C-alpha cells in the first residue's frame, strides 16, 4: 500500500483525513513534528500546495495537505487565511468575530477548504477546493463541531455547523466538498 504523508502533526486532522479517505488505496501517515512549514501563501490553495510540496520533497514521499478558513464578506474576507490565529481559543475567536460584526447587517460568509497532493519530487499532482456559503449568526448556537461552527449558519439546511449531525457536516461542509472533488482524481493516480 503506498504511503501518503499528511502535512500536519495534528493527530485530530489525521483522524479526519482517514474518515474521508476510507476505502482508498493509500496508507496515511503524519509528517514528523520537527519538519515545520511556514504558511506564506496568499490563498488557501497556495498554502495547501506549498505544504504538500515541501513535505513531499523533504521526505521523498507522496504528501497531502489542506488549508481552510472562514471568509466574512463585510470584513473584506477576514479572518480568512488568519482564521486559526484570530484569537487564542475558539471562544476568543468567536467573540472577536461577533464583535467585529456588531451592528452589521450583511452577515454573509463562506468556509473554504483547499487540498493539494504532491509527488515525491515536490511537484503538485492534484488540487481541489470546496466552498460552503453561509451567514454569521448573532450568537453561538449548537454544541457540535469545533472552531467557528456555532456561529456559521447554513441556510440550505436551516442550522449552524454546530447543530448538524456529524455525518451531515462531513458531507456538505467545505472540507466534504473539497474531498468529493479530490477523491475521484486520487483514485486515478499512477503511483
Q: Examine residue 68 and tell whether it contacts ligand IMP (CB under 6 A).
A: yes
Residue placing its CB nearer to ligand IMP in the complex, 137 or 173: 173
Instruction: Tell me how far apart the alpha carbons of residues 111 and 80 are, in angstroms, rounded to a whole number.
Output: 9
Q: Determine the angle formed by the axes of helices 11-21 and 174-187, rounding to 10 degrees.
A: 60
> Judged by CB under 6 A, which of 19, 84, 91, 187 binds ligand IMP?
84
Q: Examine residue 147 and tell whether it contacts ligand IMP (CB under 6 A).
A: yes
Q: At 41, which helix (H) or strand (E)?
A: none
Where do we find the cell 468556509? Answer: 111
Name the 3-class secondary structure at 40.
coil
Q: Is 73 a catalytic residue?
A: no
Strands (E), 22-160: 27-30, 62-72, 108-118, 124-136, 152-154, 159-160
Instruction: Tell me how far apart the alpha carbons of residues 164 and 157 are, in angstroms, rounded to a whole number.
Output: 9
CB of 1 to ligand IMP, least distance (A): 26
Q: Examine residue 20 and tell whether it contacts ligand IMP (CB under 6 A).
A: no
Q: Which of 172, 176, 151, 178 has the alpha carbon at shortest distance from 162?
A: 151
> Judged by CB under 6 A, which of 17, 26, 148, 153 binds ligand IMP?
148
CB of 87 to ligand IMP, least distance (A): 9
Q: Examine residue 71 and tell whether it contacts ligand IMP (CB under 6 A).
A: no
Cell of 163: 447543530
Between CA 158 and CA 95, with CA 161 as vertex, the angle to 5 degrees is 110
CB of 82 to ligand IMP, least distance (A): 9
Q: Examine residue 149 and tell whether it contacts ligand IMP (CB under 6 A).
A: yes
Q: At 57, which helix (H) or strand (E)?
A: helix 44-59
> Judged by CB under 6 A, which of 51, 52, 55, 67 binds ligand IMP?
67
Q: Which of 66, 67, 149, 167 is catalytic?
A: 67
Residue placing its CB nearer to ligand IMP in the complex, 3 or 85: 85
Q: Examine residue 160 and tell whether it contacts ligand IMP (CB under 6 A).
A: no
Binding site residues, ligand IMP, CB under 6 A? 66-70, 83-84, 145-149, 161, 173
Q: Which residues are catalytic?
A: 67
Amino acid at each position: 500500500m503506498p504511503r501518503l504523508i499528511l502535512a500536519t502533526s495534528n493527530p485530530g486532522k489525521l483522524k479526519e483525513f482517514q474518515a474521508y479517505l476510507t476505502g482508498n488505496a493509500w496508507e496515511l501517515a503524519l509528517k514528523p513534528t520537527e519538519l515545520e512549514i511556514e504558511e506564506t501563501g496568499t490563498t488557501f490553495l497556495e498554502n495547501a500546495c506549498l505544504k504538500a510540496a515541501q513535505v513531499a520533497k523533504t521526505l521523498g514521499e507522496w504528501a497531502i495537505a489542506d488549508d481552510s478558513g472562514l471568509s466574512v464578506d463585510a470584513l473584506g474576507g477576514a479572518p480568512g487565511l488568519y482564521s486559526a490565529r484570530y484569537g487564542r481559543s475558539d471562544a476568543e475567536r468567536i467573540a472577536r468575530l461577533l464583535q467585529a460584526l456588531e451592528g452589521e447587517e450583511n452577515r454573509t460568509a463562506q468556509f473554504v477548504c483547499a487540498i493539494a497532493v504532491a509527488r515525491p519530487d515536490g511537484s503538485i499532482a492534484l488540487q481541489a477546493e470546496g466552498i460552503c456559503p453561509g451567514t454569521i449568526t448573532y450568537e453561538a448556537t449548537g454544541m457540535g463541531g469545533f472552531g467557528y461552527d456555532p456561529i456559521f449558519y447554513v441556510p440550505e439546511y436551516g442550522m449552524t455547523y454546530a447543530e448538524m449531525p456529524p455525518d451531515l457536516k462531513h458531507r456538505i461542509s467545505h472540507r466534504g466538498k473539497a474531498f468529493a472533488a479530490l477523491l475521484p482524481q486520487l483514485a486515478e493516480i499512477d503511483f
